[in-house]
Amino acid sequence: MRKTLFFFALVALMSIGKTFADEGMWLPMFVDRLNYTDMQKMGLQLTPEEIYSINNSSLKDAIVGLSGGPTPTGFFCTGEIVSEKGLLFTNHHCGYDNIQKLSSVDHDYLADGFWAKSFDEELPTYGEMTASFLIKMENVTDSIFANVTDNMDDKTRSAEIRKVTTRLKETYNEDGKYNVVVKSFFEGNEYYLFIYEVYTDVRLVGTPPSSIGKFGGDTDNWMWPRHTGDFSIFRVYSAPDGSPADYSENNIPLQPKYHLPISLDGVQKDDFTMIWGFPGTTTRYMTSFEVETSIEELYPTVVDVFGKQLEIWKEFMDTNTKVKIQYASKYAGVANTWKNYIGRIRSLNRLHTINKKQETEAQFDTWLNANADRKAEYGDVLETFETYNAGMKDFLSTFYYVQLTGLGAEITGLGMDFGELAQIMAPINKKELPKDKKEAEAMKEQRSTEANQLIETFRAELNEFYKDYDATTDQKVFAEMMKMYIKHTPENLQSAYVTKSLKNYKNDYEAFAAHVFNTSLLSSKDKIEAFLNKPDYKKISNDPVVIIANEVMAGVMSMAGQYREINAPMAKAKRLYMKGLREMNPDKVYYPDANSTMRMTYGSVQDYQPADAIHYEFVTTTKGILEKEDPNNSEFIVPARLKELIEKEDYGPYSENGEMIVCFLSTNDITGGNSGSPIINGKGELLGLAFDGNWDAMSSDIVFEPELQRTINVDIRYVLFIIDKFAGATNLIDELTIRQSEPKPIRTETTL
């Protein structure tokens, strides 16, 4: 709701006062002990057993980790089960990659949307999207540390931990029935084990067109006010007996243990909300030293390189529909990180995060110096961080440039894979070859089997690669990446092939790139298929791209050695710093950093004030969609059907006092991986789907800013409106468990 009204200075007064900002991503098994009383006070009505139970079905059974394989150790997004037939809601940007892969110029589901009218029409993703259900989690710290001692060196320690981890996985997986994952918490001070059941047959059921699911595009990404219908719909299938099974016609829709009911009541300011999902990574206990390294070395480098790639991709996407579809998902992913890092630099600077971290470090220093035992245990910690920061100065940026540019074109990535093949195909060195004839034959045989296996793997993967590959686009990227590579790589680490060729081409990067693309086998599917049908060692080992990839990697490896050296003492320092902080503040309940395990975060619906004299409402409405409409800007096109519905105010049962709410804000503490997570009210009903963080707190992975940090959610009523009124997919609406309390509450408007 971008009403000019909200820019009046008076509004500023209103958001001063109580904020319910809830920092923390909590582990489900401890919710009862650590958070429950607090949550109840804020409005939670469920019992602890209804939330997390390992014996009975509970809310946690409706929360799904999404990944792209059968044995994931982490998840790119979260989904939730919303029907008795395994229907799953997640974000549009979470389904995006699969929707893109299922699209072509003839049936472009990104542009037009897709709605299956029956089970038959649902589109298999063949293991590209898999759904993990958490069976239970356990604290295994004692087992992990049984033979670990304080004075063990890092290597021995890691080896011991790996050994126990492997044993635990074997003990708990029940002959492969479950995927067992062990994760480190609090920087290696605690360990937990997670048992998942992984379903690999997940099918696309419905998606709005990008003009709804990605409305506002990259301009609005990470921003409020937002008007994006960021949802897509999938269904989990199982074998006829309910167990996980790879795609088969015989599979049936999953009968889940639990599915979330949906509320049509909507939200009011201060309403209790909780979000369940799989946040990926945070580093909330990071020191000022590491923040400085990130701001100065890491983020600007990534921004620079990604910015260049995006610029070139966009140039080609804008003029070629095929390229536009081919590069849509890659572009969205890179653009998302690129903008995020720009935001991080800005927020970390504006919010003086380094100073705030320094204050904590000063307290830590005073605390440890007050006692000889502490001094002995923690005395070196801060110095280690300082040394790390100094070591990374002017080094980390170069290290990233070399990798990101040297291997930045898609073709060089492929070059690395084929380099591996070349290595296996290489004639065996005489010295290596056993004297015994039989043994020598066996060794050759073994190599050739390995090569053939790799060739078959490549064959299978290459179809997918070339479907979304445009050599003309990549050639330009390659030229630009090489330019940056030469600029940033120390001379002694530069690829000799690149420097020599550039000399031949008188530093004409375009001509050099044209030569590489003309002569390499990897620049077209036909050439590489012909090679795979008749593999030849000489051909592949002399391929310019394979040579370049190899030589770039040699430089990277040499720098990686130095990186490891600088980084080596950090694991221990981080572990001790974390341990020390908890000891220093014994009354404070610490939550562990996100690590792609199931978490719960609770808070409330809130507006906020991003800067002096600006106030942001906590909801947006469809009015804003028409305000933002711009037929000349692909990011802000409003589909005709949607426009008609909005103009007629034809909202069905989904509006509130005549208005259609699109998105709303809450104070919940989330990060990447939480995308698609359900935001749930005190009664355990679905209110919407979390899908973004906000520009004013892009520092959020490193520090929680209660006054500024908000989660952006798409209101479930807008989701249902799109499914029902826009798409006419009433078959899906009929599957849901929809609740509405009477009488309908009136949203508290902030009145002046």
CA atoms within 13 A on the CB side of 509: 13
Give the shortest CB-122-to-ligand ARG separation in angstroms.
24
Among 668, 675, 681, 709, binds ligand ARG (CB under 6 A): 675
Name which of 652, 622, 644 is nearest 725 in CA terms.
Answer: 652
Q: Which is nearer to ligand ARG, 336 or 423 (CB)?
A: 336
Helices (H), 426-470: 437-467
Site string for ligand ARG, 633-672 (x = CB under 6 A): ---------------------------------------x
Q: Which of 83, 103, 263, 675 is catalytic?
A: 675
Cross-strand pairs, 136:
195
Strand (E) or helix (H) holding 162 = helix 154-172
Site string for ligand ARG, 320-359 (x = CB under 6 A): ------------x---x-----------------------
Give the shortest CB-99-to-ligand ARG separation in angstroms.
13
Q: Which is nearer to ligand ARG, 28 or 277 (CB)?
A: 277
Residues 686-705 that bind ligand ARG (CB under 6 A): 692
Q: Which is nearer to ligand ARG, 221 or 681 (CB)?
A: 221
Helices (H), 59-105: 92-101
Q: What contacts 691, CB < 8 A, 6 or more positions away?
A: 91, 93, 228, 230, 675, 676, 712, 713, 714
Give the shortest CB-297-to-ligand ARG separation in angstroms.
23
Residues 265-304 that bind ligand ARG (CB under 6 A): none
Q: Which of 230, 271, 543, 715 is catalytic?
A: 230
Q: Extract the tokens encoding 370.
A: 């007050």
Q: Which is nearer to ligand ARG, 214 or 725 (CB)?
A: 214
Q: Where are the beta strands (DSSP E) in 539-604?
A: 599-604
Q: Which is nearer to ligand ARG, 598 or 714 (CB)?
A: 714
Q: Extract the tokens encoding 172.
A: 């708990």
Name which of 732, 714, 726, 693 is nearest 214 in CA terms.
Answer: 714
Check: CB of residue 308 under 8 Å from CB of residue 712.
no
Report the alpha-carbon distance of residue 673 to residue 675 in Å, rounded: 5
Q: Which is nearer to ligand ARG, 224 or 478 (CB)?
A: 224
Q: Which of 92, 93, 259, 615 is catalytic?
A: 93
Angle at 28 between CA 94 and CA 65, to 5 degrees: 20
Report the alpha-carbon distance of residue 429 to residue 425 in Å, rounded: 12
Report the alpha-carbon distance of residue 741 to residue 659 in Å, rounded: 18
**Amino acid found at 655:** S
Give the shortest CB-460-to-ligand ARG separation in angstroms.
29
Asked if 74 interacts with ligand ARG (CB under 6 A), we say no
Site string for ligand ARG, 223-252 (x = CB under 6 A): ------------------------------
**Amino acid found at 364:** F
Helix, strand, or coil (residue 231): coil
Give the shortest CB-232-to-ligand ARG separation in angstroms.
12
Q: Which is nearer to ligand ARG, 50 or 218 (CB)?
A: 218
**Would you call 615 a catalytic residue per the annotation?**
no
Give the shortest CB-214-to-ligand ARG separation in angstroms.
5
Asked if 127 interacts with ligand ARG (CB under 6 A), we say no
Helices (H), 505-543: 509-519, 525-533, 537-541
Rg of the chain in Å (alpha carbons) = 27
Q: Which is nearer to ligand ARG, 208 or 266 (CB)?
A: 208
**Would you call 394 a catalytic residue per the annotation?**
no
Q: Is the dihedral of CA 266, 271, 277, 283 positive or negative?
A: positive
How many residues belong to the site for ligand ARG (CB under 6 A)?
A: 11
Q: Which is nearer to ligand ARG, 218 or 296 (CB)?
A: 218
Q: What is the 3-state secondary structure (H, E, C) of 675-694?
A: CCCEEECCCCCEEEEEEEEC
Cross-strand pairs, 179:
196
Report the alpha-carbon distance of residue 331 to residue 311 in Å, rounded: 10
- Which DSSP symbol is given to 215? T
Site string for ligand ARG, 187-226 (x = CB under 6 A): ---------------------------x--xx--xx----
Q: Which is nearer to ligand ARG, 217 or 379 (CB)?
A: 217
Strand (E) or helix (H) holding 302 = helix 299-317
Check: CB of residue 399 under 8 Å from CB of residue 559.
yes
Helices (H), 208-264: 210-213, 217-220
Site string for ligand ARG, 166-185 (x = CB under 6 A): --------------------
Tell me the longest C-alpha to C-alpha distance in the chain.
Answer: 92
Give the shortest CB-337-to-ligand ARG separation in angstroms.
8
**Would you call 107 a catalytic residue per the annotation?**
no
Q: What contacts 608, CB < 8 A, 6 or more positions away?
A: 15, 615, 616, 665, 696, 707, 708, 710
Q: Which is nearer to ligand ARG, 546 or 712 (CB)?
A: 712
Give the shortest CB-204-to-ligand ARG separation in angstroms.
18
Asked if 93 interacts with ligand ARG (CB under 6 A), we say yes
Give the shortest CB-91-to-ligand ARG separation in angstroms.
7
Q: Is the dihedral of CA 574, 575, 578, 579 positive or negative?
A: negative
Give the shortest CB-724-to-ligand ARG separation in angstroms.
24
Looking at the annotation, which residues are catalytic?
A: 93, 230, 675
Chain contacts with ligand ARG (rule: CB under 6 A): 93, 214, 217-218, 221-222, 332, 336, 672, 675, 692
